Amino acid sequence: MTSVQPDLAPWARDTVLQWLKENVPEIRIQHILRVEAMARDLAQRHQLDQEQAARAGLMHDLAKYFPPAQLLALAQKHQLPTDPVDEANPHLLHAQVSALVAQETFGITDTEILAAISNHTLGQPQMSDLSCVVFLADSLEPGRGDRPKVQAAREMSYQDLHHAVALVCDLTLKHLVKTQRLIHPRMVLTRNWAWLELQS
């Protein structure tokens, strides 16, 4: 278990919440708070640092409502790796840009927290357990519903992180195919990595 770097003073959670209230609709804030809570719970279950998980959960959607042009401009400015799917759907960049906002606006330097924020939408092969936790909390927090397959993935998230990541990727990919939407190659890579982890 890695120790938490002193990025946030005790009052800083309120600072982040105030920023969110000024930049994110209330319904999204409720989602963010559920992600924060589930990330903390999952971290406790898997013996990870709960504060790191909660902080990443709280800041995972900082750039959720940035306009597409702003997301693309920030990605270009910071030389983030992009794919044609990102350019066609800039919203996919909000995870990586949220990590930039966490760093630049709130002074976050903990690389594990920043990676967990950056990976919460598409995942990443070889991502850390902390990143898995935030990825799963975002997809499986209670507000996401209780369909049988979602509930099964939610239950699995408390047992085996990689298995749960694989299940969530499969659910997402099936939905994207069904709705004839673009699939980001990183999601496929994440899915394959997670299933391969189960075989190793």
CA angle, corner 149, sides to 148 and 150, nearest 5?
A: 90
State the architecture of 12-145 in CATH terms.
Orthogonal Bundle (1.10)
Place of tokens 């999601």: 187
Q: What is the per-residue pLDDT for 3?
A: 38
Q: What is the per-residue pLDDT for 200?
A: 79
Q: Using CA atoms, how far apart are residues 3 and 113, in angstroms rounded to an integer?
A: 12
Six token digits for residue 14: 């309120």
Give CA separation, 149 vs 167, 169, 188, in Å: 9, 12, 19
Q: Using CA atoms, how far apart are residues 139 and 96, in angstroms rounded to an integer?
A: 17
Task: Give CA 74 to chain center in angstroms.
Answer: 19
pLDDT of the chain along its 200 residues, tens only?
333 444 554 448 999 999 999 999 999 999 999 999 999 999 999 999 999 999 999 999 999 999 999 999 999 999 999 999 999 999 999 999 999 999 999 999 999 999 999 999 999 999 999 999 999 999 999 999 999 999 999 999 999 999 999 999 999 999 999 999 999 999 999 999 999 999 97
Q: Whole-prediction pTM value? A: 0.93
Q: What is the per-residue pLDDT for 12?
A: 86
Please report, for the chain, the start and end positions of each structural domain, with discontinuous segments joined by +: 12-145
Q: Using CA atoms, how far apart are residues 123 and 138, in angstroms rounded to an integer?
A: 11
